[in-house]
A = this chain, B = another copy of it.
């Protein structure tokens, strides 16, 4: 308040000190000493741009596989990415949890369910099945697998090789809101079947076709998005661009969003999932978005600029984008990257905002 209280006498200061002490005693805090931090002119996140290299994550997950068992209590061998701007928390951004999960040969992770909504994305490997409400879902490279809130789920590795993947959840958001409920399921696996296609895919995985007799879904009834479809959809957008037709979001940049076929909305109620493909030689415009996101490079390489940071990234590398940080890509070789974000929260609460800066030569 320096602008409006230019000069304060020692006596006035003493009175103010007394007042502030009285506030404190009464569990009160004045707005005028805090407004800049509380209500900045544009978002001023504590979270910072951050990079985690797959070449670091995977060996540590493997080492955890040797030292730490999976089982009831700890529940999952998942190691979360901690944003350096949010020390003391296991959060990648204020709202998003991102972790590498690791399951050794023939290992099992027992059933539980929770309000928190989850997905798994597989950058490499195969051999693990996740049973969601008793429906076995194979996990393979490039696939996105969902576990909507309050669906029982368990994982098991049916092979002699380990497998690692990333988990995304809204754990920080649910923790912040004090909205979480959690239940343990049976210790024994609900099924050891390993069908090629899960039941949910067989009912709901046909383009534009709704199964009329299927039970009414409370969340996305489609719980697996297979790489063959994602890849084909991205390829088509770039081919259409070549042919002079619309489809890409900007030159050389194709995007598909994973959606709930029963509502056409986001595949998860609090997390948006997308796959991006940059054609070789593409530079994207810098975009600011209110809300935070985490990306994982799936294939290819490039340079990503997040606010003041500049990362050379390749397969498996993850990075966090805080709210309103300008984000751009420059890829000589071409790049596929998976993105997840809290956009659905911002849209549901009518807080969404985006600004795009065109590239200047």
Contact = CB atoms under 8 A, between A and B. Distances in A.
Given A175-B38, A182-B41, A67 B27 contact: no
Q: How many copies does the complex hold?
A: 4
A213 to B, nearest CB: 4
Interface size class of A (residues with CB under 8 A): 35 or more
Interface string A32-52: 111100111111110100101
A19 interface: yes
Interface in A127-177: 149, 171, 173-177
The listed residue with most B CB atoms (<10 A of its CB), out of A211, A250, A274, A346, is A211
Given A1-B73, A52-B26, A351-B174, A181 B262 contact: no
A28 B45 contact: no
Contacts of A32: 68, 73-78
A322 interface: yes
Interface stretch (A79-87, A302-310, A326-334): A79-87
B75 A3 contact: no
Interface in A1-58: 1-5, 12, 15-16, 19, 22-23, 26-35, 38-45, 47, 50, 52, 56-57
B264 A210 contact: yes
B351 A82 contact: no
B256 A3 contact: no
Contacts of A240: 199, 202-203
A342 interface: yes
A4 to B, nearest CB: 4
A205 interface: yes
Contact of A261 (B83, B179, B208, B237): B208
Interface of A: 1-5, 12, 15-16, 19, 22-23, 26-35, 38-45, 47, 50, 52, 56-57, 60, 63-64, 67-84, 89-90, 94-95, 99-100, 114-116, 149, 171, 173-183, 199, 202-215, 220, 222, 225, 229-230, 232-233, 236-237, 239-240, 245-250, 253-264, 267, 269-270, 274, 290-292, 322-324, 342, 345-346, 348-351, 353
